[in-house]
Structures are given as C-alpha cells and as structure tokens.
C-alpha cells in the first residue's frame, strides 16, 4: 500500500511540471453497500442493502492536452453498509408441524476514510469521463447490531411468539487500516468552473482483518459506492510562454 501511494504521488507531481493545473472543491452524496460472506448458508439467510454515503474534498487537475488531463483528489469519504441476517436457532415440533426458532439481526457498519483517488480524464464536448485508482486510510470504524430473539424477559426460548431485542455497539469494527479499489466517473460541465459529477467506486481488497482467523473459511468484506454531486474549479493556472 505504501509503495503504491508513493508511486501514484510521484506520477502526479512529475506530470505537474509540464501540465496546466486547476484546483477545486467537490461534494457528493449517494449510497454505499458493504458485502459480507460471514454467515452460514445452511442455518442463515442474509440480505445486504444500500445505505446513505458521501464524500467531500479538494481536487487538482493537470491538463496535458486540450481535452486530456490527469487528476488527484483528497477526500473525506463516509461508507455505510446495512444487512439483515436471519438465523435458525432451534427446531421444534407441535401438532405435527415442525417450526424453527429464528433470530433476526439488523447490522450497520460505518467506516470513514481519508481517500486519494488518482485518475486519467478525457473531455468530449460538455462531458468528461474519468477512470482511475483510489487508496484510502481508515479514520473511524464503528458498527451496531440490533438482535431480535425468540425469548422471554428471562432469556428463555419462547414458543408463544414473545421476543427480546438487544442492541450491541462497537467503535472498533474489525477492518483493515487501508483500502484499495477502482473509481470511475462521468461529469457534465455546466461551465468552465461548475460541473455535475456521477461517481462509482468498487473495492478490490478485502476489508476484513485476519480473514482466515482460527483456520476458518475466508471472511470477505468489500464495498461499493455510488454518488452524485457538484464540482467547482476555483483556480486555473495558465502556463507561461517562454520567449527565445
């Protein structure tokens, strides 16, 4: 991760020597989803959902030709995922019918990152298409699980339909310190300064720390993010012509 970030920064700053730079700010809102395979499909069912997400920060575009440029951004990214998991705890028979006692867990994960996307862009009329790579460092990571169990107030399994709800929270979600993935976006340029941007990010690496802990099958967490927002280029520096 460190070698990759060093290489990306080296390329950006070397291009800056020959390029025409423009600086700006951006803010995007949208949704994200974190996939998680850490459930037993024999006794459990799982469904993941998109949840509110967003990113904001600054950007630097380095124009190398009239319609081509390299860009780098420094962003604060908020990633959120939601899932619902239904676990069968026990089976019982009554009046000739077999039923399962199930527990339902509603789980949310929240991770904030400091992200550095580096990309290549090309402008075609009023549209700009960008494709690149993004590295991120985790700033905060928290989670919450709300579990509804078929139990009475004493904690014993209940066949009468009584349920008990318990909430668990953590500020130390078991994820890695970094993330790496691909970013792609399309921008509609309203003017030389203002633009509307649609952005998609897909995580390449496994976020889960110690994925094969205790010799179990690999646990894989990955996320994707879709956002829509505004970009404002507040400063463009023109290259100086050198007289001979």
Question: Which range in 82-86, 101-105, 159-163 is most confidently predicted, on average pLDDT?
Answer: 82-86
Q: Which two tokens stand for residue 170?
A: 């953590």
Question: 144-156: per-residue pLDDT in tens?
Answer: 999 888 776 666 6
In a domain, 159, yes or no: no
Distances from the Cα of 153 to the Cα of 62, 88, 100, 149, 150, angstroms = 64, 20, 20, 11, 10
More confident residue, 93 or 116: 116
In a domain, 20, yes or no: yes
Q: How far apart are the first and last CA of the chain?
A: 45
In a domain, 148, yes or no: no
Distances from the Cα of 111 to the Cα of 127, 159, 170, 243, angstroms = 32, 38, 12, 52
In a domain, 21, yes or no: yes
**1-15, 43-57, 77-91, 122-136: segment of lowest average pLDDT:** 1-15
Average pLDDT for 91-118: 81
Residue matched to tokens 């905060």: 140
CA distance 63 to 21: 6
Closest CA to 24 of 221, 237, 182: 237
Q: What is the pLDDT of residue 114?
A: 98
In a domain, 189, yes or no: yes
- Number of Cβ within a 10 Å radius of residue 12: 17
In a domain, 89, yes or no: no
pLDDT reading at 70 higher than 80: yes
Q: Give the chain's domain count.
A: 1
Question: 164-220: per-residue pLDDT in tens?
Answer: 888 999 998 889 999 999 999 999 999 999 999 999 999 999 998 876 654 566 788
Q: Classify residue 210 as left (phi > 0), alpha (psi -120 to 50) or beta.
A: left
Give the HSE-up count for residue 203: Cα atoms under 13 Å, Cβ half-sphere. 23
28 burial via Cβ count (<10 Å: 0-12, 13-18, 19+): buried
| Mean pLDDT, the chain, whole residue set | 84
Average pLDDT for 18-46: 84
In a domain, 162, yes or no: no
* Structural domain containing residue 210: 2-42+49-83+107-139+178-236
Strand partners, 106: 84, 146
What lies within 8 Å, CB to CB, of 154 at 6+ separation is: none
Strand partners, 235: 23
In a domain, 199, yes or no: yes
More confident residue, 213 or 118: 118
CATH code, domain with 15: 2.40.160.20
**4-18, 66-80, 181-195: segment of lowest average pLDDT:** 4-18
């Amino acid at each position: 991760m460190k070698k990759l970030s060093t290489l990306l920064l080296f390329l950006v700053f070397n291009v800056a020597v020959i390029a025409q730079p423009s600086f700006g700010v951006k803010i995007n809102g949208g949704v994200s989803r974190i996939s998680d395979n850490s459930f037993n499909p024999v006794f459990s069912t799982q469904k993941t959902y998109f949840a509110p997400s967003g990113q904001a920060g600054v950007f630097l575009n380095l124009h190398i030709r009239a319609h081509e440029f390299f860009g780098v951004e420094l962003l604060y990214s908020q990633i959120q995922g939601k899932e619902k998991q239904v676990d069968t705890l026990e089976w019982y028979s009554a009046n000739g019918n077999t039923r399962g006692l199930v527990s339902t867990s509603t789980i949310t994960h929240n991770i904030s990152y400091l992200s550095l996307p580096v990309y290549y862009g090309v402008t075609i009329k009023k549209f700009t298409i960008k494709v690149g790579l993004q590295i991120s460092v985790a700033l905060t990571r928290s989670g919450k699980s709300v579990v509804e169990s078929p139990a009475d107030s004493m904690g014993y399994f209940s066949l009468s339909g009584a349920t008990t709800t318990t909430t668990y929270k953590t500020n130390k979600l078991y994820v890695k310190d970094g993330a790496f993935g691909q970013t792609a976006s399309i921008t509609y340029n309203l003017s030389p300064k203002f633009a509307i941007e649609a952005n998609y990010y897909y995580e390449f690496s496994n976020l889960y720390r110690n994925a094969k802990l205790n010799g179990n099958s690999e646990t894989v967490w990955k996320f994707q993010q879709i956002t829509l927002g505004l970009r404002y280029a507040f400063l463009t520096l023109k290259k100086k012509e050198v007289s001979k």
